[in-house]
Copies of this chain bind each other. A is one copy, B any other.
Amino acid sequence: MRIALAQINYHIGNFENNEKKVIDAIHKAKEQKADLIVFAELAICGYPPRDFLEFEDFINKCNAAIERIAKECTGIAAIIGSPSENPEVKGKDLYNTAFFLSEGKVISKHFKTLLPNYDIFDEYRYFEPNNIFKTVDYKGQRLAITICEDLWNIGDDLLYRGNPMDELFKQNPDIIINIAASPFAYDQAEKRKEILSQNVKKYKLPLIYVNHVGAQTELLFDGGCMIINSNGLIADELDYFKEDFMVYDLERIEEITSPVIKEKPSKIALIHDALVMGIKNYFQKLGFKKAILGLSGGIDSAVTIVLAAEALGSENIRAVMLPSRFSTGHSLKDAVGLTKNLNIPYDVIAIEEAFKSFESALKPYFKDLPFNIAEENIQARVRGVILMALSNKFGYILLNTSNKSEAAVGYGTLYGDMNGGLSVLGDVYKTEVFDLARYINREKEIIPKNTITKPPSAELRPDQKDSDSLPNYDILDKILYQYIELRRGPNELTEMGFDEAVVRKTLKLVNTSEYKRHQTPPILRVSPKAFGMGRRMPIVAKYLA
């Protein structure tokens, strides 16, 4: 049997686009004499469709697309994900469904059993869990069709009581098909291969895995579709971060006896490529071309502009330097140097006059009160007003340059430097931003060396350094990682050797900054625990605060 794997970048709710891509792939698979083509989970509507699933009109559009796609399936079968109605009165209205299409029609529907409902996943919000298990016979092969999480209840830490693949296995299938919507995190590809390999080892069956590729706002899908033979050897893995298409002869795949060696990208290379794709797709799918951002001379905006230039082309980036009375000489120089290296024109718009006009308007109320956070924030907000004015006038999307360490402890000004349509680095800790800068400079100096070596500063008051207000980033990022990614509490952290006062201060900063993160732009997710839809915290709570 010849099987095609279609690794496609879908667009949520864009049925016309998604249907066209699916039908084109079916035609291509037919040309290449494939017997079966496999698409991703909820491919028709894109993933995650979220509360659009509650609209009958949306489900009707999914059904209509499936009907039209089925008609294309003559001389070939297709497996494709779409929601489908639960015909029973009891339970949620929908099933997360893999449609098996052949002979120009829907042959069978296979429902998802294990519904992920953690981190960024909300599937039990919409779907009823399946409790009917059936394989499908096609061209002498018996297929066990599963959907993403259905294969993940394996190993030591079992999140669910049942295991759908155990049920399907009783029907003696010849191959496992898994259609997925498994978003990227820097450690996800390895986890995924491990889990799928465990399944192959357990059931001694070959496995076809088809995932999404492309960005859907904060969620990035890396693709990584693969075929594993029953010896547990990954026979091939499709490219990350781009659309791809391959046809395999199952019998020949089964004969492979030594693993295909592919170079494993480093964590930072993965993050880099993921962010570039994330920016690119955000703009494409919204129908925008051009980005604007403020360049401070610091490392966050430097890394952001490099990624944006890769994603959108230097010609589509507008850089603005917004010096204040507290900006140091090297800031403008470093920022200018960077734009020259990137061949991006820049404008310098001083914020002094606007800042003064606010000082003067507020003088009757502030009187002689000392300069403090209020004045610091005014400067950041004046920058925000100018960048947004250019954005509104010329149709740029403003890129936010805050990093994850800042977002965590609330070191940023709401309605100021926290502005933007998209946060590029909001899931990248400061120490990782430095790693990204060094990665960007791996062949030649693009980001000026001084930007990387000087101590980080917001430059909102004389001689300000980040380290005046925050623990050293080396320590801070370690504590944040333990608290945010691993959910370790204060006692565990001090037992690990972190200073108790620093731990207490850091966790308090994190927990009392929820109100700021609530108003933050969407953050491109590259870690297993990003701020945004995957981390949901109360605002008025009083815990470690």
A: residues with CB less than 8 A from B are 11-14, 17, 46, 48-52, 54-58, 60, 89-92, 117-118, 122, 124-125, 156-161, 215-217, 281-282, 285-286, 347, 349-351, 353-354, 356-358, 360-362, 365-366, 369, 372-375, 377-378, 381-382, 384-386, 388-390, 392-393, 414-415, 419, 421, 487, 489-492, 515, 518-522, 533, 535-545
- Can you give 16 A-B contacts (C-beta < 8 A)? A13-B538, A13-B543, A13-B544, A48-B538, A91-B159, A92-B159, A122-B536, A125-B536, A286-B540, A353-B360, A358-B389, A365-B390, A381-B388, A382-B385, A519-B521, A522-B539
CA distance A56 to B48 in the complex (A): 29
Judge whether B122 and A90 touch: CB under 8 Å: no
Cα A146 to Cα B284 with chains together (Å) = 50
Shortest beta-carbon distance from A439 to chain B in Å = 27
> Are B365's CB and A347's CB within 8 A?
yes
Copies in the complex: 2
Contacting pair B390 A362 (CB below 8 A): yes
Expressed in whole angstroms, the Cα–Cα distance for A55 and B488 within the complex equals 7
Q: When the two chains form their complex, are residues B538 and A50 in contact, meaning their CB atoms are under 8 A apart?
A: yes
CB-contact partner of A393 in B372, B535, B541, under 8 A: B372
From B374, B414, B540, A285 is in contact (CB under 8 Å) with: B540
* A324–B286 CA distance with the chains assembled, in angstroms: 33
Q: Hey, which chain B residues are within 8 Å of A156, CB to CB?
A: 89
Q: Which of A216, A356, A489 has the most CB of B within 10 A?
A: A489
Evaluate contact between B358 and A536: CB separation under 8 angstroms. no
A157 to B125, CA, bound (A): 16
Contact flag A357-B353 (CB < 8 Å), given A124-B117, A389-B378, A538-B52: yes
Q: Is the CB of A58 within 8 A of B124?
A: no
Question: Smallest CB-CB separation from A54: which chain B residue?
Answer: B487
B385 touches A358 (CB 8 A): yes
Which of B90, B356, B389, B535 is the one whose CB lies under 8 Å from A362?
A: B389
Knowing A159-B91, A519-B520, A543-B12, the reply to whether A487 touches B49 (Cβ < 8 A) is no
A540 touching B347, Cβ below 8 Å:
no
User: Contacts of A539 on B, CB cut-off 8 Å?
Assistant: 217, 522
Query: Could you tell me the distance between the alpha carbons of A381 and B384 in the complex, rounded to whole angstroms?
Result: 9
Please name the residue on chain B nearest to A153 by beta carbon.
B90
What is the CB-to-nearest-CB distance from A74 to chain B, in angstroms, rounded to a whole number? 30
- Would A384 and B518 count as touching, CB distance under 8 A? no
Q: Which residues of B contact A362 (CB under 8 A)?
A: 349, 386, 389-390, 393
B117 touches A541 (CB 8 A): no
Partner of A124, one of B124, B385, B522: B124
Known: A13-B543, A216-B538, A519-B519. A415 touches B384 (CB 8 A): yes
Closest B residue by C-beta to A318: B365
With the chains together, A535 CA to B55 CA distance in Å?
12
Chain B residue numbers with a CB within 8 Å of A360 are 353
Q: CB distance B357 to A91 under 8 Å? A: no
Evaluate whether A11 and B57 lie within 8 angstroms (CB atoms) in the complex, with A91-B159, A125-B118, A389-B378 already known.
no
